[in-house]
Structure 1
Amino acid sequence: MSKKLKIERSAGALDITYSWGNPSRWFLAFFSLFWNAFVLFFLAVGAGWFIVFHLIAGAFIGWYTLTLFLNKSVIKASSQELTITHGPIPWFSKDRQIPARAVKQLYVEIGPVKQNNQSTYQLMAQLDTDARVKLIGAEMDKERLLEVEATVERYLGIADDPSMNLSGKSMNGLNLDEVRANLERLQKIKKWLPASMAQKMEEAEHKIAAEAARRSSDDGIFVPGEDWAASSSSGFLKPRILPAPEHDLTFPFYLSGTGDDILLEGAPATVGRTAQLDWDNDDGSISRQLEVVSPGDGGKRHFYATRERGRWTYYEERRLDDNEVAKLGFSEDHHPLRFENGRERYYPRDEKTGRRFVLGQGHPVRQFVYFTSSSTAQFRALKSGNQPWEVYIEEPIDGASFEAKE
């Protein structure tokens, strides 16, 4: 682990802290002191307005130097969101807050800024909308960003795609030894090549290294949908096998069955009815509905666990009554293209189709999840055969809320 990184894991979150410091800060500190002393001297002897520009430049250099000595970036990952904050000194780096379920992939690419004629790197996030968001920019230590990427992806359960790093496409089928040999032959003339071409060579070298690491690794990542052929074949319907947890940082509530005793937010509870939904999409995603009963007053709470892109996200949900469903615009086979709930306007994601298994019997279902950009709440609308629409309002809940009862 990089000495500049501080990684702390808990049941509910992953915290990664690293300082902005780099070797150039000592030179900048000396230069800033010299420059500002020079400007203050001329101010003291009554220099004219021309010195104002030097004063502004000195203040900017001094401010930037302070950020290198004092500032840290904190990346906090939980089952609900991914946040990045910078401080304590304000700078141009933006704080980010992204729903964890929206993060499809993290990757490192070469940035547009150079420092001391050397490339800098930036950590990017690809979202489920295919939008790309810069999380950290202008970092000279590529290995540090790669370590941050790997740590966050492992915690959130995102299957790494090394070919994404440094903005690459898939390199399957390439003869890496041949490509590496060609790049080595070009090293002799690299210094005479245009800067843009030399940068492309650097990108290719990094991508080759990442692809070689991917091909040599065998980490046993679960392949979504690998058992789908059996469960979808004619006359042989059964729920998919739930994957084993990839780490022990949080309790795998999604594996719970009827009658299991658990702790919910520290209080004893028992799992009641359960159902499993196996979706037909290419990544073989799985969802579960779980009822949790309090042994004291018999109160029931309902949860929706969904596995998408290799990780589990939890929601607490409440089913709407028939009047509430009708007000949102649902009727028979019709689902609204949008609806309003208070001041928020909700839109559906792509339709999902699959089967819901209850007590071992599977029934075809279709489902829409309605979302809004201004709230974490969402609506889940499910249609099973000729049955009325089941519409639930959901709020994300931290996976650390569920614990094993000893």
Structure 2
Amino acid sequence: MNMIAKCDVCDSITFIGPKKGKAENSEELYTKPTNYQIDSRSHGFRMVQTWFSGGYVLIFLISLIFLTVPLMLFRDEFIALFTKGQLPDEIMPFIIFGGIFSCVGWCMFYSGITGLINRTVYTVEFNELRIKHGPLPWRGNKRLIPSQIKKLDIKKSSVEVNGEPRWNLFAKMINDKKIMIAARLEKKSYALYLQKILNEQLGLSEGEKKSSRKYKFKK
């Protein structure tokens, strides 16, 4: 039996009906991430993710500190090493503080630079899903055949930021191998958006319907 209730205060109308099963009425909200843009000028499907965020700016600034500290502490030793090829008398402090600080600084410097200028491009054309990071080299470039993908899965990441979990999007292949598509998304609704878009582009919508998943846009 279905009923309609009306609020006397705000005149809102609410539909009241029998409760449906979870699999039959499972609506999930999705939100388009602001750093993802679909290129409408591309002949095929092309979606671009920019990496830039305040976190990468912080990493870049910290890297400059790590690179500057050894130069300040061992300025004379570095000058002697690079101009005369002479190692300092107190070699261990030079190696420990100078070497380790420099290695950490350069690693952070490269991570910060890539975060400031890199992009991830998702392309679907010629029966292939390509995921490419650049322009600076970064691990994780992929080329996948849609017919080899069973479905796209969302999993909670082990990474948390300010107590809030991050979300990963995986491609589960027909051989049950899981391949990362997008990592550490800020909200689950962002992962749901990417899942929906890529499901449509890869022709995986039928698998989505069988699971009775419905998507609702969240402003």
**TM-score (norm: length of structure 1):** 0.37
Q: 2:122: which partner in 1?
A: 75
Provide, for residues 266-301 of structure 1, a one-character-per-residue CA deviation record: whole Å limited to 9, x for no partner.
Answer: xxxxxxxxxxxxxxxxxxxxxxxxxxxxxxxxxxxx
Q: Which of residues 151, 167, 176 in structure 2 aligns to 1:121?
A: 167
Q: 1:14: which partner in 2?
A: 45
**Residues paired across the two proteins, number:** 170
Mapped to 2, the partners of 1:30 and 1:11 lie a distance apart of 36
Question: 1:11/1:24 Cα in 2 relative to 1: closer, same or farther (>3 Å)?
Answer: closer
What stretches of structure 1 of length at least 5 have no aligned partner? Answer: 164-169, 173-210, 218-406
Mapped to 1, the partners of 2:158 and 2:145 lie a distance apart of 27
Question: 1:3/1:138 Cα in 2 relative to 1: closer, same or farther (>3 Å)?
Answer: closer
Q: Which of residues 90, 99, 109 in structure 2 aligns to 1:62?
A: 109
1:306-345 map, 5 Å? none
**TM-score (norm: length of structure 2):** 0.65
Q: Which of residues 140, 160, 182 in structure 2 aligns to 1:136?
A: 182
Mapped to 1, the partners of 2:55 and 2:180 lie a distance apart of 24
Mapped to 2, the partners of 1:16 and 1:65 lie a distance apart of 23
What root-mean-square deviation, in Å, do the aligned CA atoms of Structure 1 and Structure 2 show? 3.0
The code of the aligned residue for 2:170 comes to: M
Question: 1:159/1:66 Cα in 2 relative to 1: closer, same or farther (>3 Å)?
Answer: same
Query: Comparing both structures, which one devotes a greater share of its residues to helix?
Result: 2
Q: 1:88: which partner in 2?
A: 135
Task: Check if 1:53 corresponds to 2:100.
Answer: yes
Mapped to 1, the partners of 2:35 and 2:206 lie a distance apart of 23
Q: Which has the higher contact order (CA 8 A, sep 6+)?
A: 2
Give the CA deviation at 1:125: 0.6
The code of the aligned residue for 1:84 comes to: I
SS at structure 1 position matched to 2:52: coil
Provide, for residues 171-196 of structure 1, a one-character-per-residue CA deviation record: whole Å limited to 9, x for no partner.
Answer: x8xxxxxxxxxxxxxxxxxxxxxxxx
Q: 1:147: which partner in 2?
A: 193
1:4-403 map, 5 Å? 4-9=35-40, 12-46=43-77, 48-51=94-97, 52-78=99-125, 80-91=127-138, 93-159=139-205, 214=214
Question: 1:110/1:59 Cα in 2 relative to 1: closer, same or farther (>3 Å)?
Answer: same
The code of the aligned residue for 1:112 comes to: S
Aligned sequence identity (%): 17
